[in-house]
Structure 1
Amino acid sequence: MAEPLPAPADEPSTRAADEEKGRAHEALSAVARELEERGEHAGGTAQEVLEAQAMMAEDPSLADDIDDRIAGGKTAERAVHDAFGSFQQTLAEMGGYLGERAADLGDVAQRVLARLAGIAAPGVPDPGHPFVLVARDLSPADTALLDLDQVLAVVTTEGGPTSHTAILAREKSIVAVVGVAEAASLSEGETVIVDAAAGAVVTDPSPEQIAEATTRAEARRAATCAPPTAGALADGTAVPLLANLGKPEDATAARELGAEGVGLFRTEFLFLNSAEAPTVADQQAAYETLLSGFAGCKVVVRVLDAGADKPLAFLNDDTEENPALGLRGIRVLRAREQILRDQLTALAQADAATTERGEGAELWVMAPMVATVEETEYFTSLARELGIKTPGVMVEVPSCALLADRVLQVADFASIGTNDLTQYTLAADRLLGSVASFQDPWHPAVLRLVKEVGAAGRDAGKPVGICGEAAADPLLAVVLVGLGATSLSMSPSALADVRMSLSGHSLDDARAIAEAALAANDAASARAAAQAAASRTTAA
């Protein structure tokens, strides 16, 4: 991967200030347009990410900072470098979601500086043959448009599971392992095996290892190309495979990839770019599009999950030193109950309208960040009052998992959000790269909580789904079913791999593999134990 551009010389400008400002603004605008064009070409989540980067390039506060530095005698290059660097440092210090976006801002700065210098921005090399791309990190713009005929896999030395490199790689079904510090020592021409399922990079592999990896890769390609079937274990036990979606327009592509319904529909897209909450009518129209796209299928909608990394001024504009532990999820909706009432009303009306047209889906609605039985009672009571037939809760807080037997006496279902459950169990911000190693759902402490919820669901006769990133891990998906999960929801691109993995094990196998993982002391050992147990089991 090309090295970043060197810092511009810190020398007084020889041009007039207005000329330097003009150069800077032209470069910022050109980069923004390029990012938008790349986004339109890529589509999906990539388009959202690149449009966000384009907004960074034209951020008014950044432009003002650049102008002030130029007015002080700086060149356009140095002003851009220093202004972006200052903003990047501020984001990094904030941590969380904004901290992760610091790398995106750095990529925008590199593109602006390249434009000012009249050279191509640092990007993906083209050696003329298929290769494994190794980089410190990969920009969203480059990840979105990777040539998958040439780039066999991606390995980065930095980044965590929620970096945009990881998110976009999952969406595009790119084999990728992020945060491998040792990869910095790899040299060009070296043969490696990139095993995304194990989260490992094997250097200097033996012929036997290469043969085994080739066989697995061919099986994966065959499974991906095969017509989708319903998710099931080898003994016929049904495990519905559902999609995590962020926009109604994503429904068609998800169904084509074999999604049997929606296990998590994030409604934040309606709120995040608004100065005020959307109307009931606007929300209802969006929900009708979603339900019609999955007519006859189960669709699980999460009400607005705001706060923490997704602050909304009209919902909660208070400054919180630790927003992940603050007024977020059901807590903030309860404090602004009219917003929750409007959303539930819009969902109920969309359900009624699509059902009347013969386009109805089986609508389930759940509340995020539920921590107590009392919060469960509050949400389910209000949801039923406003016409929701099947209200449930997300299990993301350890207290909710530990009280799952009581929670599921009230709620109609539970859906485990493994991202946040891991964060709160291991006390590690899931969006902070410096503690990314703790953000591993394979940890036995997390698995034990999943088992608690699974057992509670079985005893109460209530469904327990998984809708976090853990469900997209083919082997971990088997473990989760063994722990009591009755459905799995994931990025649609992961459906084929998970479907193939489940089909190779019976329910008894899954339970044995899960017990092997639970007996371990840490995440790496749990994964290894599960792999060993899986290799010993035979499908019935």
Structure 2
Amino acid sequence: MAPADPRPDPGVLHGLGVGGRAVAGRVACMADRPAEPEHGARPDGPPEREAGRAAGALEAVAAELRRRAALARDQLGQPEAADVLEAQALMAQDPELAERIDALTGVGLTAERAIFDAFGEYRAALAGAGGYLAERVGDLDDIAARAIAVASGVPMPGVPDRADPFILVARDLAPADTALLDLDKVLALVTEEGGPTSHTAILARARGIPAVVGVAGARTLADGTPVLVDAAAGTVTPNPTEEALTELAERAQRAVHSQTATGPCRTADGVPIALLANIGGPSDVDKAVKAGAEGVGLFRTEFLYLGSATPPTFETQVEAYKAVLDGFPGKRVVARTLDAGADKPLPFLPLGHEPNPALGVRGLRAFRGEHQHLLDTQLRALAAAAEQSEAQLWVMAPMVADASDAKWFADRARAHGLTRVGVMIEVPAAALGAHAVLDAVDFASLGTNDLAQYTLAADRMLGALGALQDPWHPAVLKLIELTGIAGKATGKPVGVCGEAAADPKLAPVLVGLGVTSLSMAPAAIPEVRAALAEHTLARCQELAAEALSR
């Protein structure tokens, strides 16, 4: 998110931008969810009837979510969205939730009220857990609203059906809505709630839809209001001026040019900057290749582990890793070892309760002890997959705090035959000690999401602190600069694989700070390529100096 203008226009709404594009259009507001069911209402029939109505409503919701998941996966090529929808369907059919609803209807509540109260109890538990689990509260709210609507005999809440393209404005968007958006109709998303890691932001980024989330007052925009949504600036401007619309047209023309640019990325004076893709598994390979990715800068290997009661076997891992590597013959593929623990619990990785998951046992920390065998199996599988592929496998560990962590991981990885070993720089201590860290490994990759979180003491999952999730903050940029300086001094490459890499305005600044590669959602690659081609390295360094001095 770029720094805000010190004298903002009072008519402009501000939030967190997702993507780098700007679009103009007319507002279409999403209908509110059903009202809270009456608390004192009593059913006309016996408790068994109400329990049956509630169960039928939840089954209908689960079936609809599974239908949408299949459509997202098989026809729209949206595996990330499909995974989210399937997880929601499982929530809707949670046996403990069903038992609680049965108990509530048994004491005389209507089906609608029993659903509301049962989900409310689960909601409170997740919100109290904090971190990743708290971010799932919106998923529960969506399932409850859909089930209450079905039980009440009204349509499930959803995206308005309009003949002309529109800017969709909502309190928040559920995964079920975002996953199947008609991109011929929906020009941009504006939500009152949500943060940089909410499902709205994640799925909008994956689908290349410009969005501004966490916009206070968004729902004061009336249906039909003309607005200009600028994702790069994180602004929503009602009734934009002709001058603003002319500037938008010029940006759109540059965007068209960016989509036709191909080949390796270079600055205006010919300095190569590798543009890589962030992917979550084999299903993302085609999108990355079609976008012109020069390799993979972040392969999130946890897709094999999350949602499973047992760890994947060695053979399963080799097959999955090879499927990704085979998509990039001769190119770099950077695999991040399992980033689990704390706010991403796994049944086979018991780490105990933690009062502050963001600062807990996660990433590499989870495997420096009795669970080291899980890391060793993964490293062996990665090495075996690399032996059978023509890709250049690089492996890095998350949540590395210092040179001691870096050396321990490098020794483990090299013992299994891996030759390009690196670390994530997402803890400020690792950035401050980047020279010593890089002495122990072959490369580093900056995770700007967590780096901003820890630098500014702002939980990245907490929407209320979304404004502090700012990679433009001079303190965050200073840590990036220190890592870039260390990379140059040691002759080791330094990349960025956080969301900052996808910002076409920030990309030249990062290059000016010493970053040699940028990894992002595939949809962002063309625009970042075009942005870097407009600047010489010297100009990038000037822009970096200006950003640091703010």
Same-fold call, TM cutoff 0.5 = yes
> In structure 1, what is the Cα distance between the partners aligned to 2:313 and 2:484?
37
The CA deviation string for residues 426-468 of structure 1, in whole angstroms up to 9 with x for no partner, is 1111111121111111111000000000000001000001011
Per the alignment, in what secondary structure is the counterpart of residue 293 of structure 1? coil
Residue 8, structure 1, aligned to residue 37, structure 2: yes
> Are 2:308 and 2:347, in contact at CA under 8 Å, matched by a contact in 1?
no
Higher relative contact order at CA 8 Å, sep ≥6: structure 1 or structure 2? Answer: 2
Amino acid aligned to 2:387: A
> In structure 2, what is the Cα distance between the partners aligned to 1:124 and 1:337?
47
Q: Corresponding residue for 2:242?
A: 207
The CA deviation string for residues 24-82 of structure 1, in whole angstroms up to 9 with x for no partner, is 11111111111111122123211111111111111111111111101111111110011
Deviation at 1:221, TM superposition (A): 3.4
Residue 457, structure 1, aligned to residue 491, structure 2: no
Deviation at 1:424, TM superposition (A): 0.6
Gaps of 5+ in 1: 355-359, 521-540
Trace 1:11-410 onto structure 2 (pairs within 5 A).
11-43=41-73, 44-224=79-259, 226=260, 228-335=262-369, 336-354=371-389, 360-410=390-440
> In structure 2, what is the Cα distance between the partners aligned to 1:117 and 1:190?
32
Per the alignment, in what secondary structure is the counterpart of residue 388 of structure 2? helix
Deviation at 1:249, TM superposition (A): 2.3
Per the alignment, in what secondary structure is the counterpart of residue 154 of structure 1? strand
Deviation at 1:222, TM superposition (A): 4.0
> Are 2:318 and 2:381, in contact at CA under 8 Å, matched by a contact in 1?
yes
1:475 to 502, 505, 508: 505
> Are 1:155 and 1:180, in contact at CA under 8 Å, matched by a contact in 2?
yes
> In structure 2, what is the Cα distance between the partners aligned to 1:519 and 1:119?
56
> In structure 1, what is the Cα distance between the partners aligned to 2:253 and 2:84?
31
Residue 497, structure 1, aligned to residue 524, structure 2: no
Per the alignment, in what secondary structure is the counterpart of residue 217 of structure 2? helix
> Are 1:316 and 1:332, in contact at CA under 8 Å, matched by a contact in 2?
no
> In structure 1, what is the Cα distance between the partners aligned to 2:157 and 2:455?
39
> Are 1:416 and 1:465, in contact at CA under 8 Å, matched by a contact in 2?
yes
Deviation at 1:117, TM superposition (A): 1.7
- Calculate the TM-score normalised by the size of structure 1: 0.93
Deviation at 1:112, TM superposition (A): 0.7
Deviation at 1:296, TM superposition (A): 1.0
> In structure 2, what is the Cα distance between the partners aligned to 1:219 and 1:467?
25
Amino acid aligned to 2:46: A
> In structure 2, what is the Cα distance between the partners aligned to 1:139 and 1:314?
30
Deviation at 1:227, TM superposition (A): 5.5
Residue 433, structure 1, aligned to residue 463, structure 2: yes
Q: Corresponding residue for 1:486?
A: 516
Per the alignment, in what secondary structure is the counterpart of residue 365 of structure 1? strand
Runs of 4+ in structure 1 displaced over 4 angstroms? Answer: none
Q: Report the structure, 1 or 2, having the larger helix content.
A: 1
Q: Corresponding residue for 2:19?
A: none
Deviation at 1:190, TM superposition (A): 2.2
Deviation at 1:495, TM superposition (A): 0.8
> In structure 2, what is the Cα distance between the partners aligned to 1:234 and 1:208?
29
> Are 1:97 and 1:432, in contact at CA under 8 Å, matched by a contact in 2?
no
> In structure 1, what is the Cα distance between the partners aligned to 2:236 and 2:520?
24
The CA deviation string for residues 262-290 of structure 1, in whole angstroms up to 9 with x for no partner, is 00111111111222222211111111111
Deviation at 1:341, TM superposition (A): 0.8
> In structure 2, what is the Cα distance between the partners aligned to 1:274 and 1:167?
22
> Are 2:261 and 2:530, in contact at CA under 8 Å, matched by a contact in 1?
no
Per the alignment, in what secondary structure is the counterpart of residue 299 of structure 2? strand
Deviation at 1:127, TM superposition (A): 3.5
> Are 2:342 and 2:351, in contact at CA under 8 Å, matched by a contact in 1?
no
> Are 1:266 and 1:303, in contact at CA under 8 Å, matched by a contact in 2?
yes
Per the alignment, in what secondary structure is the counterpart of residue 79 of structure 1? helix
> In structure 2, what is the Cα distance between the partners aligned to 1:109 and 1:379?
44
> In structure 2, what is the Cα distance between the partners aligned to 1:19 and 1:218?
60
- Of 181-190 and 135-144, more deviation after overlay is shown by 181-190
> In structure 1, what is the Cα distance between the partners aligned to 2:136 and 2:487?
38
Amino acid aligned to 2:127: A
Deviation at 1:402, TM superposition (A): 0.4
Per the alignment, in what secondary structure is the counterpart of residue 142 of structure 1? helix
- Calculate the TM-score normalised by the size of structure 2: 0.91
> In structure 1, what is the Cα distance between the partners aligned to 2:261 and 2:428?
39
> In structure 1, what is the Cα distance between the partners aligned to 2:282 and 2:183?
27
RMSD over aligned CA atoms reads 1.2
Q: Corresponding residue for 1:533?
A: none
Per the alignment, in what secondary structure is the counterpart of residue 474 of structure 1? coil
> In structure 1, what is the Cα distance between the partners aligned to 2:166 and 2:257?
22
> In structure 2, what is the Cα distance between the partners aligned to 1:471 and 1:261?
15
The CA deviation string for residues 306-344 of structure 1, in whole angstroms up to 9 with x for no partner, is 112211132233111112212111111112111111111
> In structure 2, what is the Cα distance between the partners aligned to 1:342 and 1:245?
21
Amino acid aligned to 2:192: T
> In structure 1, what is the Cα distance between the partners aligned to 2:205 and 2:537?
27
Q: Corresponding residue for 1:527?
A: none
> In structure 2, what is the Cα distance between the partners aligned to 1:12 and 1:338?
56
Amino acid aligned to 1:374: S
Deviation at 1:136, TM superposition (A): 1.1
> In structure 2, what is the Cα distance between the partners aligned to 1:351 and 1:94?
39
The CA deviation string for residues 69-107 of structure 1, in whole angstroms up to 9 with x for no partner, is 011111111100111122112212222111111011101
Per the alignment, in what secondary structure is the counterpart of residue 509 of structure 2? helix
> In structure 2, what is the Cα distance between the partners aligned to 1:101 and 1:378?
34
The CA deviation string for residues 187-235 of structure 1, in whole angstroms up to 9 with x for no partner, is 22322110001111122322111111122123213423x2632122111
> In structure 2, what is the Cα distance between the partners aligned to 1:319 and 1:92?
15
Question: Identity across aligned pairs (percent)?
Answer: 54
Amino acid aligned to 1:270: L
> In structure 2, what is the Cα distance between the partners aligned to 1:8 and 1:298?
55
